[in-house]
Amino acid sequence: MLNWKKNSKITKYRRYSFFNIGTLLFFIVFLYMLICLFMYLTERHVTSYEVTRGSITGNYRFHALSLREETVVNATQSGSVRYYVREGAKTSAGSAVCAVNESGAAQAPVYEAFSLSTEEAKRLGNLLSSFTINFSENAFQTTYDLRSNVQTSIAEILQDTADAPVSVRNQCVAPQAGFVVYNTDGYETVTEEQLTAEMFDESSYHVNSLRQNASVTAGNPVFKLLVSENWALYFPMDEKLQTELVGVESLQFRFLKDNVTFTAPFEIVQNANGCFGKLSLSNSLVRYATDRYLEIELVMKKKTGLKIPESAIVQREFYAIPEEYVLKNDGTESEITLKVEHFTEDGASKVRYQTANVYQYDSEKKEYLVDRQLLNEGDYIQLEDSAKRIQIQEKDVKTLYGVYNINKGYAVFREITMIDENEEYCIVESNNVYGLAAYDYIVLNADEVTEDEIVY
């Protein structure tokens, strides 16, 4: 029998409890993080806005309708047409603009001995360059206009050469001097008395290009003349713009087509269908002879000041206190003291000195506006060292527009005086002791806070 002898010592490992000081600290930190996350997700977040100087951008833009003195010339014979004058060029009275070949297709010009002078080559080059620069795939129709313009320019050059086709007859001449246009749209005889809001809807506008057809029927339009340099642009006006432009006799505006700026006489035209603005011009028709609609921008003098969003504006009610009943505080214009006499329900009178922030001072009426919440209707404001007093009544309530300033971490109402506005922003005066200053922080949405609320 073997006798085993224990000659080794067995050491027992110490078991540590899960709930020790380290675990407890970790649990506390984790719980704190969960609480902070919950508070962040559930609390109301206030968005701030930094006040800056500026003006309201985005002058008024319109698709203006141009009305000119226009004469439509009809063909006297049926047949194929060849044009001699390029579109937009000015022609004199009695000059041939096109010719109709009553026997069929017009004889093609002979190009064997054809050559261009330097000036003629430059003119065609400018025509092609302008097309290349302004080409858009959304307006592929301009490609056909380019072809017609090139054909007309060449025909205009050829008519003075021996290579001009001899079988073309029945020339159509200009009855008077004017700019040649090769389209009709039904607006040739429209007057300002006939203007309607629907006329400014380009989606329903249709233009008939006269050069797309190789032939013409007797009595149908073959070209059009703009016979006067006097023309006008019209655009619809709402009540706000009418108010802004009432009494204005001239306006500066810009053509967005070529970024050229003009100053023209302006008037408001009222007819049975609505109110329209009218810009009268007496030159530059040649630049826009082929355009019925022109996008323009009114270049109006905008007032500058502090720019704030409309969403930040709120209305507040205040009591107006006469200046003689105010005790002014030394060292600050934004704070005053009032001697207030208040009567309790049992009729007892209590007098206290109330410090109040000033939200506006009316230099004409000599009044200070203070927070309505500080006083009760029926309270008396006593004149210091005198028996005179005035009672606070509903008639003393004044309404101000303002914003909530949050520079100090809590919402403080600041009065504003608006000098310009649009749908999104307004411009306010900056030289107000009780108002805003550049780089102040305000609440972007005034509905999110109340007076004196702490803002994180």
Q: Which of 111, 165, 153 is nearest to 128 (CA)?
A: 153
pLDDT one digit per residue (tens) for the chain, 456 residues: 455 555 556 666 666 566 677 778 888 898 999 888 887 777 767 888 999 988 776 568 899 999 999 999 999 888 888 888 888 888 888 888 888 887 655 455 555 556 777 777 787 788 788 778 777 766 665 676 676 667 666 666 665 554 455 444 567 888 999 999 999 999 999 999 999 999 999 888 898 988 877 788 889 999 999 999 999 999 999 888 888 888 889 999 999 988 899 999 999 999 999 999 999 999 989 889 989 999 999 987 777 889 999 999 999 999 999 999 998 887 777 889 999 988 887 878 888 899 888 888 888 889 999 988 888 888 999 998 888 989 988 888 999 899 999 998 888 898 898 888 777 888 998 877 778 888 999 999 988 888 888 886
**What DSSP element (H or E) covers 417?**
none
Q: 201: which strand partners?
A: none
DSSP of 191-257: -GGG--GGGG-GGG---EEGGGSSEE-TTSEEEEEE--S-EEEEEE--HHHHHHHTT--EEEEEETT
Are 432 and 37 a contacting pair, CB within 8 Å?
Answer: no
How far apart, in whole angstroms, are the C-alpha atoms of residue 358 and residue 379?
19
Q: What is the pLDDT of residue 142?
A: 66
Q: Say whether pTM exceeds 0.85.
A: no
